[in-house]
Structure 1
Amino acid sequence: MVQEFKDARVALTIDGTALEVSAIHRDGEKAPIVFLHGFGSTKEDYADIVRHAQFDGHAFLAWDAPGCGATHCADLARIDIAFLLETALAMIDHAGFERFHLVGHSMGGLTALMLAHRHPQRVLSFVDIEGNIAPEDCFLSRQIVDHARASDELFFDDFIARTRHAPAYASALYAASLRHKVRAQAVGPIFRSMVELSDHGDLMGKFLGLPCPRLFMYGAQNATLSYLDSLRAQGVALAQIENCGHFPMYSNPVAMWQAIAAFFTASASRIRSSTRD
C-alpha cells in the first residue's frame, strides 16, 4: 500500500523573524530524504515521491521556502540564501532527522550546498538539480542586476514576461504560476544573495569538497555547461535528463525520479559504510 504524505504547519522564529512553514512529510524506516525546491516552485515539486516504488520506506520532508507557496514570513526583506539555510536546518531538526539524503533544485540546490558544507557529517548523499555552483548558473537570478526596475512589482512583472517567452522547456508553464507561488518583495533579496554567492562564494570548491556521494542533474538543453567534464573527472556522478531544460520535475519527471533512484542504488554501499562510521 502506498504511504501517502501528510501535511504540516510548523511555527519557527529565524533570526527574530516569525515563520509559519507549510510542509509535507512521510515517516519511514529507511534513511530520510530532505527536498528543497527552486525559486518559483513549491514543495509539491516532490510530492510524487509517493508514486514511485523505488522510494518506498524512505521518510521524507519538503516545505515551501519563506516567501514561497503557502509559507508565511513576517518580513520578506529578510529572505536570502542564509535565511533559507537557517530555515532548512530548523525544519530538519524539527523533524528529528540526524542524517539524511539531500535533494535540491536551483535555489534549493544552492541552499542545500551551503547546508552540506556546514554539516557534511549529516548528509548521506546530495542530488544537486542544476543548483548554483558557478557564476554561469545565474541565468535567472542575475536578471535582478541586468534588468533592474524601480520597484519589486515592476521587476517581477518583467521577469515573468521574459520567462514566459524564454526558448527553454517548461518556461511558459513555470512562468504561469510564478505570481501565485512567490511574493514579489522576496525576489530581490533572494536573487541578490544567489548572485553574490555564485560570483564570490567558492561554490565549486564547496561542492567538490563534500565527502558524500554527489549527483549533478541537468537538462539536455543545458548540456553546454562549462564545468560538466570537470565534475565527472573529479568523481561527481552526472545525470542528463532528456527533453528538458532547467525544470526536470515539469518537463520529464519520470526520468528525474529514475535518475535519483539509480543514484541511490549506485551509492548504497558507500552510504552504508558512511553510516557505520
Structure 2
Amino acid sequence: MKMPTETRLAPLPQLALADTALIEHDYADSHSLADELAAAVANDLSDAIATRGRALLGLAGGTTPRQFLLRLGNKRLDWAKVDVTLVDERWVAEDDPRSNTRLLQETLFQGMARAARFTSLYTPLLQPENAEDIIAARIRSLALPYDVIVLGMGADGHVASLFPGGDNLARALDLGSDRLVTAMRAPGASEPRMSLTLSTLLAADSLYLHIEGRTKREVLAQALAPGAHAAQWPVRGLMQRRGEPGRIYWCP
C-alpha cells in the first residue's frame, strides 16, 4: 500500500507506540487527511478485489468522517464488488438524523460507491439485545474477515460502540469469544447501539483509526500510555492487534 505523505506538527503528548500494533500519520488539516485516507482505503479495496474477487469494508459514523466518506465514494474502483457495513449503528430508524446509515447515504453512496452492496446493522421492531443473532447472521454471510475497517474515536476513548461503562463491554472486548456483534447500552451513548466486537475489528486485514482535534489526540495519548486499560479506554484494545499494524490518521 502506498504510504501517505506525513506533515509533522507541534509536539503533543507522546503516544506509547514503541513495539505496538499502531503507526501514526499526522496531517496539517482535515482536507489533506481525508484525501490521503480515501486513497489508502481505495487502494486496499482494489487489492482485495484483485485477490479475492470481492472486498469487505467497515466504516464508522459520527461527524468526523464526512469529508473522508465523500472522497472515498468518488474513488474509481469496482464498487459493485464491494460489501459495506458500519462498525456500529445507533438503534434508530435509518432515516433518523442520528443514524449512521443515513450518514452513508448522504456521503459515500452519493458517488460511485452507490454501486456497492450495503448490509445494515439495524433491524426495526426489535430491541438490539433481541436482534444480535439476526445481525450476526448478516455479517457471517459476508466474506470475513473485513479487508478494511476505518474507526473513529470518541472523546471518552470509545471505538465503534465499545463505550466505557457499557453494559456488554466485557464480552465485546473478549478476544476469546467468537461473537461478531454485540448490543450496547452505556452512559455515554444517547441511545442503544449495535457494534462489531473487538475481535471482529482486529481481524481486519487493514485497520485505520481516524481522529481529528488536539483534544482527541490527548485522549488517545492517555489511552495508549503504560498502565491504561481497555475497560477504561476501549481504544486501547487496538493495541492487541496482530499482523500488519493499524494506522492512526490524525489532524488538529
TM bucket (normalised to shorter chain) is 0.3 to 0.5
Q: TM-score, normalised by structure 2?
A: 0.35
Higher RCO structure, 1 or 2 (CA under 8 Å, sep 6+):
2
